[in-house]
Structure 1
Amino acid sequence: MAAIAAATTAFTSLHLTRSIPYTRRHIHTLITSSSTKFNITFAPPKPKPDPKPDPVIPINTNPSSDAELGEQLYIPWIVRDENGNLTLQSTPPARLLHEMANAKTSNKKKKGKEVGSKAAAVVPTAEPKHSKAARRFYNENLRDPPQRLSKVLAAAGVASRRSSEELIFQGRVTVNGSVCKTPQTKVDPARDVIYVNGNRLPKKLPSKIYLALNKPKGYICSSGEKETKSVMSLFDDFIKSWDKRHPGEPKPRLFTVGRLDVATTGLIIVTNDGEFAHQISHPSSNLSKEYIATIDGEVHKQHLIAISEGTVIEDVHCTPDSVELLPRQPDLPRPRLRIVVHEGRNHEVRELVKNAGLQLRALKRIRIGGFRLPVDLALGKHVELNQGNLKALGWKS
């Protein structure tokens, strides 16, 4: 700017002394021909503000999880922690997962006349039926197979299997309107119409029942109605409350698995499942039975040897699995023997004790197979068996 001002001053002075007009070329010549040096400087440009760096978000990751992911591409989630800081994690927040789990998947109803008209146009259709293939698979694999007529009558509680066969032979049973005199006839209670003495058999059979009874002394193991002191009379309350616990099912016909004589107490199994009773009572099951025998008088070593050698019962030599003299207890002054047998012949333990020259005062069965009589089960009381108890008894259903 100073150089321009000097040139202007020189030009003015010359213009005053000369009357010759000057052009722009003359002015440029005067400026460039001048020997004056100008120290021209310019102010530095205004510095621009540095851009603020992006906030660094701490990454809250687990090294072990990173190693597992490797080069796998995953979506990060930015979550604010309890202190208000933002963290980066590879899994969705727990609150979001909880809300997604509890969210309703049903479609929201739209408001408007159009939706109402569409809803009015929808006609309810009948529920689709199962296909033939599905019904065939159910009938072949899931439906109970047909059973013998005598077995169905016994399971329905009409009578025992032998008594049911007598009813069939007498012509008092009809199947689908025709008299049937063959107990081996296969029937299905759910499909076939069965009448006994003019009363129709229910379509649904009662559920299978498995009970363990602590039999008292003086009761016999018989289901005959004429017996006044049968173990079946101990289940009167159980049968009376059957309708409340199993509505719509007929009452079961209970019977004992095997027998205990009138003077023997302890464990006996009661059920309405004939196959179960046959399996665990058959000699092929080889179930051991443990008894506690209370003896009058003293027991010596020769008595134990005589019992262990066995005795002949019904022309069969029966030998016990083990014989043991139990330690004396203050509240039980009489000696007690623990005798284990597996054949279970009629009065086997009593005959073994008698053959050894001992006098038996009391006999109690405390175990069948792997199931032991509960210690807290009082005389005359029963308890339902669960699947574990049935397996301990050798039931392989």
Structure 2
Amino acid sequence: MRSSGRNSSRTTRGAGNSRDEKQQRAGRPRPEERGYGKTAGGKSGAGGKGGKGAPPARKKRASPARSREYEAQIEERNRERHDKPALRLPKTFGDQEGERLQKVLARAGLGSRRACEELIDQARVEVNGKIVTSQGRRVDPEKDEIKVDGLTVAAQSYLFFALNKPAGVVSSMEDPEGRQCLGDYVQNRETRLFHVGRLDTETEGLILLTNHGELAHRLTHPKYGVTKTYLAAIQGPVPRDLGKRLKEGVELEDGYARADHFRVVQNTGKNYLVEVSLHEGRKHIVRRLLAEAGFPVDKLVRVRFGPIALGDQKSGWLRRMTNTEVGQLMREVGL
């Protein structure tokens, strides 16, 4: 009897305990509802424990307000820390300021470095108003004013012009014999310009003028193969296979010469106007090529240099090239 009573009391006590546990569980928030602030019922949810036994939340002490003078001192200290001047470390051997003068002149298109050294030896170069006499001079092209024969050598300000050269004009910026030359068309400009390639004295047409040395060098270097197009007046009759012969190559005294393109533009009786395109730049190359094929040239005009066309530009006129044309030239030679 005692055992049965004892078992019944245990059962009753266990049932009561299970009811209490269910009630406690019903009052607890679900895991996804637990937070660190107070719940909607006003009970604290910190640590997932609520009820009367939860410790009260500590109140944060308000930091004392800092004065404006103190804030200004902190700001000034931060500025001094971040605005310190760069340290000037001692230069190691060989680490010198600027570039050698002859290198800057060569890059500007005034010739090879050796030729630029000769300009210095001839006392034709001045830096910041003083003539340079030593080869070891170093300069900063962006700060120093460099002149050759009194004309400024532009390092960053590039100019690009297209000239329709008349017949009888020498393809040089100066002529010691006093003949008419390209410099006569640009003599009023302060910056030194130089021509890109050459045209025979009696050849007319498009010639480019610039102070961009690297561009001028690439436009005339055989490696880049920039095509030049000419119109030539010859006497016929012209055989049909002339273009094929010119493209295959004609042997000249200084080697074979080949045309990239040939076509007859106009024919009036025995007078023929033909178009010849080639990328070589040897002296009198078009005249010699056609003469060796049996057709001496009466008149020769260059109508295109790479992507730049002569168009309807009048003889003797100088014009500034557009930004689009300059971009096309740069693309042509990979700049």
Q: Which residue of 1 aligns with 2:158?
A: 208
Structure 1 residue 231: deviation in Å?
1.6
Distance 1:182 1:202 in 2: 19
1:233 aligns with 2:233: no
Q: Which residue of 2 aligns with 1:352?
A: 289
**Structure having greater relative contact order (Cα 8 Å, sep ≥ 6):** 2
Residue 187 to residue 347, structure 1, CA distance change in 2 (3 Å) = same
Residue 272 to residue 300, structure 1, CA distance change in 2 (3 Å) = same
Residue 146 to residue 298, structure 1, CA distance change in 2 (3 Å) = farther
% of aligned pairs identical? 36
Matched residue of 2:186: which SS? helix
Matched residue of 2:283: which SS? coil
Q: Which residue of 2 aligns with 1:379?
A: 315
Residue 131 to residue 278, structure 1, CA distance change in 2 (3 Å) = farther
Query: Cα deviation per residue 1:133-188 (whole Å; 9 max; x = unaligned)?
Result: 8999xxxxxxxx9444135457899x7666642232356767799965327x5411
Structure 1 residue 132: deviation in Å?
6.9
Matched pairs, number: 242
Q: Which residue of 2 aligns with 1:187?
A: 139
Distance 1:324 1:223 in 2: 34
Query: Cα deviation per residue 1:31-63 (whole Å; 9 max; x = unaligned)?
Result: xxxxxxxxxxxxxxxxxxxxxxxxxxxxxxxxx
Does the CA contact (< 8 Å) of 2:120 and 2:135 recur in 1? yes
Does the CA contact (< 8 Å) of 1:155 and 1:252 recur in 2? no
Consecutive unaligned residues of structure 2, counting only runs of 5 or more, are 1-78, 89-96
Does the CA contact (< 8 Å) of 2:167 and 2:203 recur in 1? yes
Distance 2:229 2:87 in 1: 49
Matched residue of 1:214: which SS? strand
Q: Which residue of 1 aligns with 2:102?
A: 150
**TM alignment of 1:1-397, pairs within 5 A:** 146-150=98-102, 152=104, 164-170=116-122, 181-182=134-135, 185-191=137-143, 207-226=157-176, 227-236=178-187, 239=188, 242=189, 251-313=190-252, 315-328=254-267, 334-375=271-312, 377-393=313-329, 394-397=332-335
Q: In structure 2, what residue type is equivalent to 1:210? A: F
Does the CA contact (< 8 Å) of 1:190 and 1:203 recur in 2? no
Does the CA contact (< 8 Å) of 1:289 and 1:340 recur in 2? yes
Distance 2:162 2:152 in 1: 27
Distance 1:294 1:195 in 2: 43
Does the CA contact (< 8 Å) of 1:170 and 1:181 recur in 2? no
Does the CA contact (< 8 Å) of 2:259 and 2:277 recur in 1? yes
Matched residue of 1:267: which SS? strand
Consecutive unaligned residues of structure 1, counting only runs of 5 or more, are 1-127, 137-144, 243-250
RMSD across aligned positions (CA): 4.0
Does the CA contact (< 8 Å) of 1:156 and 1:252 recur in 2? no
Residue 172 to residue 306, structure 1, CA distance change in 2 (3 Å) = closer
Does the CA contact (< 8 Å) of 2:108 and 2:213 recur in 1? no
Structure 1 residue 190: deviation in Å?
5.0
Residue 348 to residue 204, structure 1, CA distance change in 2 (3 Å) = closer
Q: In structure 1, what residue type is equivalent to 2:219? A: I
Query: Cα deviation per residue 1:362-387 (whole Å; 9 max; x = unaligned)?
Result: 11111111221122x10000211122
Normalising by structure 2, we get a TM-score of 0.60
Distance 1:132 1:313 in 2: 70
Residue 171 to residue 339, structure 1, CA distance change in 2 (3 Å) = closer
Distance 1:175 1:214 in 2: 34
Q: In structure 2, what residue type is equivalent to 1:385? A: M
Q: In structure 2, what residue type is equivalent to 1:273? A: H
Matched residue of 1:256: which SS? strand
Does the CA contact (< 8 Å) of 2:108 and 2:212 recur in 1? no
Residue 287 to residue 135, structure 1, CA distance change in 2 (3 Å) = farther
